[in-house]
Amino acid sequence: MKPKDMTKVFGIFLSDVLHADFLCDGLKAASLGKDGFVKVWDVALGELHSSFRVGQGHEPPSCMAVGKVNVNLFSVGDFNGVISVYDMRQPEPTHKFTVPSTPSALHLACDDSIVVSAADHYVYTWESFTGKPFLQENLDVSDIFTHPGGYMHYKLITGLSVVQCPDVHRDPLLLSIGMDRLLRISSLKSFEVFHQERLVSPCTAIATFPNLKYVIVGTESGLVRTFAFTTPSQLLEQERVKINSGNAEIDEPFAVVDPGLKAMVSRFSSKWRGVNFEEGDKALTTEEWFKQSGAVGTRIAPKDWGHKGSKAPLIHEHTIISRVSNASGGGESVRESADMGRVTKMLLRFQHSRALNEALQVCSRARIISKRSPEAAESVTKAPLAVLAVVRELSRRGTLPAAVGGQTEKELARLLRFILQNIWRPWATPTCLNLFRILLSKSVSSFLLNDR
């Protein structure tokens, strides 16, 4: 299918565009800019239809969702923790809700009657037409006018989706992803978790078919993972086919398959080439699995790894795994270091400048410790990863310029020194270049550049 020559180019924002989506009628599109405006465009004419000022103060908006049924409805969240529901026929928001921290994901569910938002580890729900909290059955509520939030992930939630699939469950199904690498499927009415999948990297984007036939999840590593879920009606159909043919395999409900994964990784991703999908690994015990030191790449887990279901999970070569804690259930779990714990806490509290400065200090402390103890030399090579992780997270949130702008001249010099020391590393080059571009755009004083 060839695109038409008369491609429409819509008007210009004063800054970056954070979100864009078609309205449900397909005739108009809505876009959210970092300048704090939502603009609605006529798709056929390429002209501005209406504009709404949604930003408050100097903080940019953080997320947006448009109606799936109501063409006039959209919702926006900002870094002050305020979620506003707008009717395009009115200049002011019809309802406002407040969450304890910056909303990281937003979705309009159940024929646009429920606003679903995520902030930090929690999910909050409200009725979009009345402005009242949509309270789940098992929540302990002291104030019926305030939603307490449901704990869904143990790191920042990055994406939400809701589907109505009576074939699977009578309740609407909430699909959520987070930086903890989990995809969770739960009930929107009770927050009961029905199923979860762990991916190899923190999750950043999710899309679903309305009937839950396919779910697509994007991750930080560049991998796009597809899931196909077997619903009860499909299971009955497979049973009928098995009775007729005697040869068809039956997947249990919610068994995960990856229909095009082999073709995708072999064609598009050099990092994932040579992935070992041989089923022989699944027949090994954990001890036999670890003794095969010559095996490289991603491997299917051994039979006694502790997983459930007919499909064994994939263990990636770069994943930190402990056969003691994961396989036998004993031992202590791998815990975050104290330094990185402080950085994580600052990010969760959206203290962006402090998190960036603390990550740089982690590098400095690692170099000092390595001079005193030669055994700690390995930590020096891994220390830059803390800064890179923080820079990537701030870039994802759209707050890297603000974090850099909050640094003192001494801290800016330390940032520039970090770039010069690590830009030659292939895995750090893109992030360092992005950081250097932000430094230049912030008009760093000339003595910094001359000094370097």
Q: How confident is the model at residue 32, as a pLDDT? A: 87
Q: What is the mean pLDDT of the chain?
A: 74
pLDDT digits (tens, 9 = 90+) for 429-446: 878 888 888 888 765 544
Angstrom distance (rounded) from CA 447 to CA 437: 17
> What is the pLDDT at residue 407?
80
Query: Given this model, what pLDDT does residue 417 score?
Result: 86
pLDDT for 270 equals 44
Is the backbone of residue 77 left (phi > 0), alpha (psi -120 to 50) or beta? Answer: beta
Taking the C-alpha atoms of residue 331 and residue 388, their distance in angstroms, rounded to an integer, is 31
Specify the CATH number of the domain 339-448: 1.25.40
Q: 92 pLDDT exceeds 50?
A: yes
pLDDT for the residue 175: 93
Domain residue limits, the chain: 17-137+146-234, 339-448
Q: What percent of the chain has pLDDT over 90?
A: 8
165 is written with which tokens? 């699939």
Cα 312-287-305 angle, rounded to 5 deg: 25
* Overall size of the chain counted in residues: 452
The answer to whether the beta carbons of residues 103 and 160 sit under 8 Å apart is no
Superfamily of domain 17-137+146-234: YVTN repeat-like/Quinoprotein amine dehydrogenase (2.130.10.10)
Residue 178 has pLDDT above 60, yes or no: yes
Closest by CA to 265, choosing from 280, 281, 277, is: 277
Give 298's pLDDT tier (boundaries 50, 70, 90). Answer: low
For residue 377, the one-letter residue type is A
Q: Which residue has the tokens 């950081």?
A: 435
pLDDT digits (tens, 9 = 90+) for 146-164: 888 888 998 889 999 999 8
Q: Which two tokens stand for residue 59?
A: 């903080």
pLDDT at 317: 41
